[in-house]
Structures are given as C-alpha cells and as structure tokens.
Amino acid sequence: MRFLSAKPKDKRAKRTPAASKAKAAPKRAEKAATKATRTKVARTKMNRTAAARASKSTRRPQRRPVPVFLKPRAILAASGFAAVMGVIAGGAWLWQSGWVHHQAEQAVEMAYQASADSGLRVMDLQVTGRQRTQVEAILSALEIERDMPILKIDPVAGRARLEALPWVRSAQVERQLPGVIFVTLEERQPLAIWQLHGDRHLIDRSGEIIPIDQVRRFAELPLVVGPGASAHAAGLIDLLASEPDLKERVSGAVWVSERRWNLQIDGDIEVQLPEENIDSAWRRLAEAEREHVVFTRDVKVIDMRLPDRFVVRTSPGAKPLTHPTNDEEST
C-alpha cells in the first residue's frame, strides 16, 4: 500500500498584526492625500463658481441687439431723405401749377414799376425811314405806350416784330434813357408785279414777295410772268430803264424756259430777246424803232435771238417789213 506524503509546510512566515498595520499605513496615507486633493479641487471649483456668480450679479444687464432701421443714424438719414423728397415734390407741384412763374412775374413787374416811378418811363418815340408802314403797326410791334417803364421795352424782340411787318426789310430799336425810343426802318421798295399760276404778287428788288392784300394799287409797275421770273426781274427792269422811251411801252415780260425773256410791247407785240447779250439786243431794238418806227406797222413778233439780225413777223395780209441792221437787210 502506497501512502501519500504529507503537504509541505508554507515556507512564508505568518504575518503578525503589527506587521500588517505597518504595511497598510502607506496605503491609508496615500488615500488620505488623494481625498484631501479632491476636496481641495472641489472647494476651488466651488469658490470659482461663487466668484463668477458674484461677478455676474454686479455686471450691467446686456441689451438686446437693435435692428439697423431703428438705430438713430438710420432714423435721421430716413428723416432727411423724406424731407428732401418732400421739398422736391412740393417744388415740382408749385412749378407745374404756375405759382413760381406767377411770383417771378410779379417780382419783375414790381421792379419795372419802381424804375418808372424813379423817372425811367417812355416819353417820346422817334421813327426814321418810314414811308408806307403805319404808325399803329409800329406801336403794336413795339408793344409800347406812353409813360410805361422804358426798361420794359425789349429792343431785340421789338426789332424782330418790326421786321415781320410787310413793308419792313430791316429795323433798329434803341433806348435812350431816361425816356426816348429811337426806331430806324429800312422799307422794301416795290419793283414789279409777279404773276404765277394766275395769282399776282408784289415783289421787291430781291425778288421777295411783299405780303400785302391790295396789289391793284401798284398796277403801274411792270408785270413779270412765270416760274423764276421774280428772281430775274431786277436785272430786266434795270435793262429796260436804259431806253426809257421804249420801256414805257413794255406792258409785260415772260420768263421763258428759265433762261430768257419775251417782252410784250404795246399790248400785242411780242419781242423775243436772246439768252445772251440781251443788252445789245435791247439797244438795237430801240435804234430800229427810232429809225424805222417798226411798232407802228402790223407787227406781231420780233425775234431777236440771232446775234446779227432779227426777224419780224407781221399779221396775215400785211406787207413784209424790211430794215437794215448791222449793215445787213433782215426780214
């Protein structure tokens, strides 16, 4: 029979109570230190929390943010903009209603009246160069009355209104203080009567129409007929004046094809002048009349368009007319 051996004895020595206490002392000291540290940390946090609460209690309460449109600067800017727009709108209304213009006119009228009260008023009107223009028309054009403020007379506007009158070609208006208005007129001189498309107009030397109604009053003036005749009338009338005896027998002139004249002499004789050298042809015609009395016969047409002769056409049944011109015989 096999027997088991007994258990070996523990070699470690048994701990005594004193030894166990000595060994546990450091651990207790470490735990006590850790607990003291944690207590200190907790107290520090409590102190900080209390200080923070005390600090918050002493601070001023924070305000809520104010919207931008409620800030003072924004309110002032908006108020200023509204005031400016109100002024603009009010001014526009006053202008459109005519109030501003009326007030300005009143101020100007008061200034004019003050100048008249000081002696600057119209006392005399002197006009030179007037022949056919009516005095009433001049006064109306100048818008002038005796004793009115002379500074109210506008020379430039008065001149324009005078030159719009039928007989006035040009005008000058001057103010001589304290009370005299000087007017100088250059009137149009009637030259001829221009017939165009059946209508008759009075024209001056420049060919411009003098706008009057009673053209018949100037029936003694030469008659020119046709488109463009007015622009060439002055040259023709000057030419006719070089032979005054023959000019008195000219009853009319027709401008033909925008280049030459046909004359009516004694009412029924047609003289066809050339396009060029018209003065020479007119002089030859006057010489032929003085020497041969061509216009007393049954002459209907005298064609002078050839440079060295002219052709005379008589009424049917009349005897041929011959006369020398430029050392030649022409018929």
Chosen domain end from 156, 187, 218: 187
Residue ranges making up the domain that contains 86: 68-97
Give pLDDT, residue 256: 96
With a CB cutoff of 8 Å and minimum separation 6, the contacts of 234 are 191, 205, 206, 207
Q: How far is CA 103 from the centre of its chain?
A: 26
**Helix, strand, coil % (nearest 5) of the chain?**
45, 20, 35
Residue 41 inside a domain? The answer is no
Chosen domain end from 134, 168, 187: 187
Do 202 and 82 sit in the same domain of this protein?
A: no
Q: Which residue in 275, 269, 224, 266 sits closest to 247, CA to CA?
A: 266
Residue 300 inside a domain? The answer is yes
DSSP string, 146-199: TTSBGGG--HHHHHHHHHTSTTEEEEEEEEETTTEEEEEEEE----EEEEETTE
Do 204 and 80 sit in the same domain of this protein?
A: no
Do 231 and 199 sit in the same domain of this protein?
A: yes
Give pLDDT, residue 45: 67
Mean pLDDT by 10 residues, the chain (331 residues): 45 54 64 70 68 59 53 59 61 61 71 80 94 94 92 93 96 93 96 95 96 92 96 96 94 95 93 94 93 83 88 72 42 34
Number of domains comprising the chain: 3
Do 278 and 166 sit in the same domain of this protein?
A: no
- Read off the CATH number of the domain in which 245 is found: 3.40.50.11690
Whether a cis peptide bond, with omega within 30° of 0, leads into 227 is: no
CA angle 45, 46, 47 (to 5 degrees): 90
Do 228 and 244 sit in the same domain of this protein?
A: yes
Do 326 and 197 sit in the same domain of this protein?
A: yes
CA–CA gap between residue 180 and residue 122 (Å, rounded) = 6
Residue 215 inside a domain? The answer is yes
Residue 2 identity: R
Do 319 and 197 sit in the same domain of this protein?
A: yes
Residue 200 inside a domain? The answer is yes
Do 258 and 307 sit in the same domain of this protein?
A: yes
